[in-house]
Amino acid sequence: MLQDTRMTPPPAVTAKAKATHGDAKSALRSALGRFATGVTVISAQTTDSHVHCMTVNSFASLSLDPPLILWTLRSRSARYHTFSQTQAFSVSVLAETQIDIARKHALPPADGFAERDWKAFLGGCPIIEGASAHFICKGHTEIDKGDHVILIGEITEFAEHKHPPLLFMGGRYYSGSSLKPL
Ligand SMILES: Cc1cc2nc3c(=O)[nH]c(=O)nc-3n(C[C@H](O)[C@H](O)[C@H](O)COP(=O)(O)O)c2cc1C
């Protein structure tokens, strides 16, 4: 019997997207994790002069004119009030050598660092030195959706350093310089 070679192979895992219980949620998280991203650290300074940082891979470019970016923040995050209330924040696109920085800023506690311990600023905003690119954003729009809020910021300043990027996929970090161009 002839086999129909046009048929697509069955997917490895299928599941309903409405993930309410544990197994379905982790299947959905795993499928979403197939989308490879860069890794950023979002930083902001609060009025008590503390610098707050958070590792984020939901960063995306939104518009060139006006220059807008977005990222999503878990509404129940301990860092929610800090980043939701700030008037300015920076996005540092991490270089592949900065995996320790990514790990450090993914950890609680979220009470920040004293300003005197912070070395690098751009446009008055704390940034991560040695990153591959920086974006300074002023003001933001917040859209509340599901268990996250979408934060949209307008870029007022940026810098590009072109170090190979740190990448994230399936819960693991990868080095940007080991990528094979196709
Ligand atoms: C690679 C990576 C990407 C992440 N991206 C996001 C993100 O886009 N939004 C978010 O709210 N948390 C993100 N997190 C989680 C935060 O970095 C941090 O672990 C979390 O906010 C800690 O919980 P807390 O905010 O309640 O202290 C990410 C963590 C990692 C390791």
Nearest CA to ligand 1 atom 20: 106
Q: Each residue's pLDDT tens digit in the chain (182 positions)?
A: 455 556 666 666 676 766 567 788 899 999 999 999 999 999 999 999 899 999 999 999 999 999 999 999 999 999 999 999 999 999 999 999 999 999 999 998 668 888 888 999 999 999 999 999 999 999 879 999 999 999 999 999 999 998 999 999 999 999 999 988 89
Please work out whether the CB of residue 39 comes within 6 Å of at least one atom of ligand 1.
Answer: yes
Pocket test for ligand 1, best of 41, 56, 83, 169 (most atoms within 8 A of CB): 56
E strand or H helix at 25, and its extent?
Answer: helix 22-32
Q: Which residues contact 1 (CB under 8 A, 6 or more apart)?
A: none
Candidate CATH numbers 3.40.190.10, 2.30.110.10, 3.40.50.1370, 3.40.50.410; the one for domain 37-168 = 2.30.110.10
Q: Kindly report the pTM of this predicted structure.
A: 0.91
